[in-house]
């Protein structure tokens, strides 16, 4: 078996083992359903949700608040990170505040954001944007500043403008850092979306989970969790794919990003 097949086969083997253990535990050890739903009931919930279509609305709600917040949060963070790296005075002015905000758990702001931005999808998107902002911002700023100073000297020696240096040298140099930010923000953004829905929402996968607690409907919880995982994994894979295509020159030393 070659290495590629092994890296697919081994996790599948573990997954299979866990599923067997799960089914066995529910059937033979009498683990009650409100603690651990049976495999079949989770499949049933997923069937009801996505074949019969009961969850699509919630899936769409969470996905759109996630996308809206992610794109706007990351775009804003990219622009701000760029300005931060380019203008020393701006960095001096804002750095303590950035540090302060960064040390604060952003999810604790969720109730406040709901008050400020209402109970619709807008407040969820703002929450997502907020948690996406910092990793993207820091990575952009750090990446731009890590540009090889010799390359900048070289461009300056050819009378290149600041904008030329930024566009042609600094941004491509920072590409891996920027993608690392995008990667971390996917996972964090999803947390933001779910937390905002927990606080107050009548839609979304987070709402489904929260709502299911009242009836101890663990199979719905499991189904919603699986849905969230799918969004997270797909998002990460899309970013990874884009990175491989766009930052092709660094594929050899593939760096793993931990969120």
Partner 1 sequence: MIQEGIPTMSGELIFRAENLGVTYQSSRGPTPALENFSTEMAKGEFVSILGPSGCGKSTLLKVAAGLLTPSSGVVELAGEPITGPRRDVGIVFQQPTLLKWQTVLDNVLLPIRTLGMDLEVGRARAHDLLRLVELENFERHYPHELSGGMQQRVGIARGLVHDPSLLLMDEPFAALDAMTRENMMIELQRIWMETRKSVIFITHSIPEAVFLSSRVLVLSHRPARILKDVTIDLPLPRTQETLGSARFAELCSELRAMFSQTKK
CB of 142 to partner 1, least distance (A): 18
157: contact with partner 1 by CB under 8 A: yes
- Interacting residue with partner 1 among 31, 43, 94, 175 (CB under 8 A): 175
Which residues does 107 contact at the CB level (< 8 Å), separation at least 6? 127, 131, 191, 192, 195
CB of 148 to partner 1, least distance (A): 6
- Interacting residue with partner 1 among 21, 24, 153, 255 (CB under 8 A): 153
Instruction: For the beta carbon of residue 162, count every other beta carbon within 10 angstroms.
Output: 12
Backbone phi, psi, residue 104, to 5°: -85, 135
Q: How far apart are CA 65 and CA 198, in angstroms?
A: 14
Helix (H, G, I), strand (E, B) or coil at 16: helix
146: contact with partner 1 by CB under 8 A: no
Q: How far apart are CA 13 and CA 16, in angstroms?
A: 5
Q: Which is nearer to partner 1, 97 or 245 (CB)?
A: 245
C-alpha neighbours within 13 Å on the C-beta side of residue 138: 14
CB of 147 to partner 1, least distance (A): 11
Q: Which is nearer to partner 1, 51 or 157 (CB)?
A: 157
164: contact with partner 1 by CB under 8 A: yes
Q: How far apart are CA 123 and CA 108, in angstroms?
A: 14
Beta strands, E only, the chain: none
For partner 1, what does the binding mask look like between residues 182 and 201, x meaning CB under 8 A? --------------------
19-39 as b/e: b if 16+ CB within 10 A: eeebeeebeeeeeeeeebbbb
- Interacting residue with partner 1 among 31, 54, 98, 151 (CB under 8 A): 151
Under 8 Å between Cβ of 65 and 193: yes
103: contact with partner 1 by CB under 8 A: no
CB of 194 to partner 1, least distance (A): 37
Calculate the alpha carbon distances from 63 to 67, 70, 205, 226, 234 in Å: 6, 10, 9, 14, 11
Count of residues engaged in binding partner 1, rule: CB under 8 A: 21
Check residue 204 and report its DSSP letter: S
CB of 23 to partner 1, least distance (A): 49
CB of 250 to partner 1, least distance (A): 7
Stretch that binds partner 1, among 43-51, 60-68, 83-91, 146-154 (CB under 8 A): 146-154
Stretch that binds partner 1, among 13-21, 131-139, 169-177, 190-198 (CB under 8 A): 169-177
Q: Where on the chain is the footprint of partner 1 (CB under 8 A)? A: 148, 150-151, 153-160, 164, 168-169, 172, 175, 247-250, 252
């Amino acid at each position: 078996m070659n290495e590629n097949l092994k890296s697919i086969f081994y996790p599948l083997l573990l997954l299979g083992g866990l599923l067997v253990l799960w089914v066995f535990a529910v059937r033979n050890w009498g683990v009650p359903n409100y603690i651990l739903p049976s495999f079949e009931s989770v499949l049933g919930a997923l069937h009801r949700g996505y074949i019969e279509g009961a969850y699509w609305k919630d899936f769409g709600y969470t996905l759109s608040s996630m996308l809206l917040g992610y794109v706007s949060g990351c775009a804003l963070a990219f622009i701000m990170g760029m300005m931060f790296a380019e203008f020393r005075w701006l960095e001096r002015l804002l750095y303590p505040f950035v540090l302060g905000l960064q040390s604060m758990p952003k999810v604790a702001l969720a109730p406040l954001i709901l008050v400020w931005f209402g109970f619709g999808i807008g407040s969820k998107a703002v929450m997502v944007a907020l948690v996406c902002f910092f990793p993207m911002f820091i990575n952009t700023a750090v990446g731009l500043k890590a540009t090889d100073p010799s390359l900048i000297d070289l461009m300056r020696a050819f009378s290149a403008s600041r904008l030329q240096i930024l566009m042609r040298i600094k941004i491509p140099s920072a590409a891996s850092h920027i993608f690392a930010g995008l990667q971390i923000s996917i996972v964090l953004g999803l947390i933001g979306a779910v937390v905002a829905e927990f606080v107050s929402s009548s839609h979304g996968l987070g709402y489904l989970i929260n709502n299911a607690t009242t009836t101890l409907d663990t199979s719905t919880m499991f189904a919603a969790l699986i849905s969230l995982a799918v969004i997270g994994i797909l998002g990460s894979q899309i970013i990874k794919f884009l990175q491989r295509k766009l930052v092709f020159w660094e594929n050899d030393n593939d760096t793993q990003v931990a969120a």
